[in-house]
Homo-oligomer: A and B are copies of this chain.
Amino acid sequence: METREVRPVGVVRRREAESTEGKCVIVILPEFKDAMLGIEPGNRLQVLFWMHRLGEEDRRILQVHPQGDTSRPRRGVFAVRGPMRPNPIGSTVVEVEEVREAEIVVSGLDALDGSPVVDIKIAG
């Protein structure tokens, strides 16, 4: 089956490069700013992001020990939520803290600094 092209719509920015804790900022690319209309503090948003630190070889891993615990039996990557998977797309529901010109300050996003954001949806 043919591959599909995903285009970043924004990027995650946070102060500490190696952390995924606390608030962070989703900086929306200028050409997608109009797609923010209606987002308000207090909203819950589902954020899809590309786990960009993973390499091509990580995309070939099909089974893992859950939470990296080798005492637990292997499971397929479709039966866990870890980062190793054929398409390294993270999906997390976050809370909107603040909306600025082309930025959304959120809490609860377990994405590293620099992660490309590929979609945002109101949480259903």
Give the distance in Å from the alpha carbon of A117 to the alpha carbon of B12 in the complex. Answer: 25
Whole-angstrom distance from the CB of A110 to the nearest CB of chain B?
11
Chain B residues within an 8 Å CB radius of A5: 3-6
Which of the residues B77, B81, B89, B116 comes within 8 Å of A48, measured between beta carbons? B89
Copies in the complex: 2
Say yes or no: is A53 at the interface (Cβ < 8 Å to chain B). no
Whole-angstrom distance from the CB of A79 to the nearest CB of chain B?
4
Say yes or no: is A41 at the interface (Cβ < 8 Å to chain B). no
Give the distance in Å from the alpha carbon of A86 to the alpha carbon of B48 in the complex. Answer: 12
Which of the residues B75, B86, B116 comes within 8 Å of A119, measured between beta carbons? B86
Q: Which 3 A-B pairs have the closest CB atoms?
A: A38-B79, A37-B76, A38-B75
